Amino acid sequence: MTTDAPHHRSVLYQEILHALNPTSPGCYIDATVGAGGHAWGILDACGPHGKLLGLDLDPQALALAQQRLAEFAGRFELAQASYTGLLNQIERLGWGGVQGIVMDLGVSSMQLDTAERGFSFLRDGPLDMRFGPSQPATAADLVNRLPEADLADLIYRYGEDRNSRRIARAIIAGRPYVTTLQLAQVIEKALGRGRDRLHPATRTFQALRIAVNEELSGIEDTLPRAIAALASGGRLAVIAFHSLEDRLVKQFFRRESRDCICPPEQLICNCGHRASLKELTRHPILPQEDEAQANPRARSARLRVAEKINLA
C-alpha cells in the first residue's frame, strides 16, 4: 500500500485510473486508501456524482486522506476497517454493486518512514509493525515468544529466505528485543552484508510484517468478497509488491476466469464451477522506467486487473 505526500502520486497512479475508468455516477472502493492518492484520482475522474468508500486500518493515514479529499466533500466516506470487511461496509452504506475496487497491498511509504511504527530496519523504533492499533500481536511478540522452529518456518514461508534457520537461531540467542535496530543488527551480524543489494534483514522484516497483519490470509479472504461486491462489468485492480501476494492474485484471477477447475487428468467435468471474471492482464502491468527511477519503492509493484462478467 503506497501513500502520498501532498504532491506525490501513488504507485501506478495513471495505470489504476486507466484500469478502473471511473465515470459518474459510479461507486468505487479504495480498499487500502492510505493518504488518498488513488482515491483522489478516482473521485476527480468520476465527478460530478461518483462516490468512493475508502478503507484503512491506520487512523493516521485516514486523517491525511480526509484532508486530501476535502474538496470532494459529500462524495466520499472513510472507515477505519480492513478490506476483509468491505461487504459489510457497502451494506452499511446501502450500495448495490460497485463499479471498481482498487487494492494497493503491503506497507506504505508513510509507515516505513515513521520510525515509531516499527516497519523499517533503517530507523530505530519499537518493534511493532501493526497496520492498525487494534491488532493484538506485534512483531516483538513474535520474535520474543515463538519457538525457534516456528520462527524459522515463518521467515522461510513469508520472507522466502533460505537462511531462515540461521536467522532464527541468532534471533533466539539474542532475545529479548524491543527495537527494530536491535533485531536488524543481530540478523546482519548472523548473515553479513555480502554482495546482495538487499539488507540482510529485509526478508525477515517482510515476513514478520506479513505475519503480524495476517496479510496473505486477508488477501485470500478478500478477493472473492471483492468480486461479490462488484456489479457486472465492474473491475478489480490489485497492486502487489512481492511474489507471495502477486501469486495469490494471479492464481485467483486465473481460476475465476475458467468454467472448469477440475484437475487436468480428469476427463469429465463435475466441479460445477462457472467463470465469474475476465482476466484483463495476463501479465502484470509494471511501473514505467521514469516512475521506478523517481520512486525506487515502485520497482517491485505488479498490477493485475480483472472484470466481473454477467453470470445470468
Whole-angstrom Cα distance, residue 191 to residue 183? 13
Q: Which residues neighbour 236 within 8 Å (Cβ) at sequence distance 6 or greater?
A: 100, 101, 103, 223, 226, 227, 230, 277, 305, 306, 307, 308
Banded pLDDT at 49 (limits 50, 70, 90): very high
In the chain, count of helices (H) and strands (E)? 13, 7
Q: What is the CATH number that goes with domain 13-110+215-308?
A: 3.40.50.150
Banded pLDDT at 8 (limits 50, 70, 90): low
**pTM > 0.85: yes or no:** yes
> Residue 242: which H helix or E strand, with range?
none
Chain-centre distance of CA 219, in angstroms?
8
Whole-angstrom Cα distance, residue 192 to residue 79? 43
Domain coordinates in residue numbering, the chain: 13-110+215-308, 115-213
pLDDT digits (tens, 9 = 90+) for 38-47: 999 999 999 9
Peptide bond into 25 cis (omega under 30): yes
Q: What is the CATH number that goes with domain 115-213?
A: 1.10.150.170
